[in-house]
Amino acid sequence: MWAVWCGFLLCVVAILYTMVGYPLWLVWRTRGVSRSAAGRSPETAFVPSVTILLPVFNGEPWIEQKLQSIWALDYPHEKIQMILISDGSTDGTLEKAARFREGSPDAIEMEVIEIPHAGKPAAINAGLLRAHGEILFLTDVRQPLDARSLRYLTSCFSDAAVGVASGELIICPGQTQQEDSIGLYWRYEKWLRKRESALDSVMGATGAIYAMRRELARPLPQDLLLDDVYLPLLAFFRGYRVIFDQRAIAWDKPTSLKTEFRRKVRTQAGVYQLIRYLPQLLGRENRSRIVFLSHKVARLLLPVWCVGVAAFSFGLPARLALWSFGVQACFYGLALADVVVPETFPLKRITSTVRTFVILMAAAAMAVSIVFRPNRSFWAPATGTAAPPQAGGPN
């Protein structure tokens, strides 16, 4: 009985720490912290040369709006080297990009590299070979950029301790409660990153919008799943900070829960892969080890703790076991009920949030399939339409 009690309490405490305890610890550790998570004002004279790397695979639906947002960047065009890398695109991406460039008289000089389809790491590696800017600005095709985003990110590097600066991805309001619940998850994530950045460093960047010092970048492994974590960690382990600057903004449309599930399986599987490539993440060399374990590893273990709570409940005294199973049944029942609860019903806000949590937890459980699945299978083609234009962006 003692072992059952210990196991049950361990699982409950682990769940509470991951979801509540760690955020509270961050609040405690960052109270009174005066170190800014962002750089100086973008009006300063620090204007380094920048290479924009835009890897694309079949990005025809988004390429024109993306290039429009790049052309509109409030940054000296003569300081920008623009490299578009087509990863074996088979649609009209390159033709549409060429037409856009021809119709833009004040265009940034754009170099186009075509490679056989080999994945995003290969595309980034091809771009790195041609990059000569002091700062690399990596972005994805689907998310348009705020005009001031590059100014804000480059201003971060006026601090010699900063090696990587990540921007913020804002998810536009959804049309369904499920899409809003995914947006709520993203807001929670950004809150954590802001606190981690103030403490020292975030353990990765936002793939759609981040920048780093070019001399810190290294070629990516061909099967890599998380370039936006691997590259920042290379800078981190060389003693630099990886910061989050919420002033630098990219926008995206809300995605379906099915799409978010696939993305989360890939990102969580990528954590396993990162531990293999960078085992120092678990060692004393990692000055933010508690952040990595609490934010990344603990998420992977959530399904284990939840299964543990259910399993150990069988060994509890009858009354407590009944209470434990009742709470679990209500929780998972809310997730199941969300499938049939109407959008206009007040309970939808709760059921949708619970269902999103359960689905993302299932994605963490599925991530272990990286042990026997080929890494390329974790990538799914992007779907949807271009994000809506944002007139001026948020204040």
Closest CA to 72 of 93, 52, 49: 52
The continuous run of DSSP H or E covering 115 comes out as strand 110-115
Query: Does residue 109 belong to any structural domain of this protein?
Result: yes
State the average pLDDT over residues 187-210: 93
Query: Does residue 31 belong to any structural domain of this protein?
Result: no
**315 in the same domain as 217:** no
State the average pLDDT over residues 214-218: 97
Encoded tokens for 205: 């960047």
Domain limits at 342? 2-13+293-375
3-state secondary structure of 193: helix
Residue 80 above 70 pLDDT? yes
pLDDT single digits (tens) 227-274: 999 999 999 999 999 999 999 999 998 777 888 888 899 999 999 999
The dihedral over CA atoms of 83, 88, 93, 99, expressed in degrees to the nearest 10, equals: 60
- What is residue 41's predicted lDDT score, i.e. its pLDDT? 56
3-state secondary structure of 220: coil
Q: Within 10 Å of residue 31's Cβ, how many Cβ atoms?
A: 7
**241 in the same domain as 109:** yes
Query: Does residue 262 belong to any structural domain of this protein?
Result: no
Residue 313 above 70 pLDDT? yes
Query: Does residue 35 belong to any structural domain of this protein?
Result: no
Average pLDDT, the chain: 89
Closest CA to 137 of 158, 159, 154: 154
φ, ψ of residue 162 to 5 degrees: the values are: -90, 125
**70 in the same domain as 9:** no
Strand order in the sheet with 209-213: 110-115, 80-87, 50-56, 135-139, 209-213, 162-171, 241-252
pLDDT single digits (tens) 165-180: 999 999 877 667 776 7
The continuous run of DSSP H or E covering 271 comes out as helix 257-277
pLDDT single digits (tens) 11-24: 999 999 999 999 99
Give the residue from 239, 255, 271 where a domain finishes: 255
| End-to-end CA gap in the chain | 57
Residues 6+ apart with CB under 8 A from 59: 66, 89, 91, 93, 141, 142, 382
Query: Does residue 357 belong to any structural domain of this protein?
Result: yes
Residues 6+ apart with CB under 8 A from 279: none
**183 in the same domain as 248:** yes
**309 in the same domain as 245:** no
Please tell me the total count of domains within the chain.
Answer: 2
**178 in the same domain as 244:** yes
Query: Does residue 125 belong to any structural domain of this protein?
Result: yes
CATH of the domain at 87: 3.90.550.10
**308 in the same domain as 183:** no
The residue ranking higher by pLDDT, 102 or 384, is 102
- What is residue 393's predicted lDDT score, i.e. its pLDDT? 38
Burial of 371 (0-12, 13-18, 19+ CB in 10 A): exposed
φ, ψ of residue 226 to 5 degrees: the values are: -130, 80
- What is residue 42's predicted lDDT score, i.e. its pLDDT? 55
State the average pLDDT over residues 22-38: 79
Cβ atoms of 23 and 55 closer than 8 Å = no
- CA dist 116 and 223 (Å) reads 15
Write down the pTM of the prediction. 0.89
Angle ∠(156,157,163) on CA atoms, nearest 5: 105
3-state secondary structure of 79: helix
- CA dist 49 and 132 (Å) reads 8
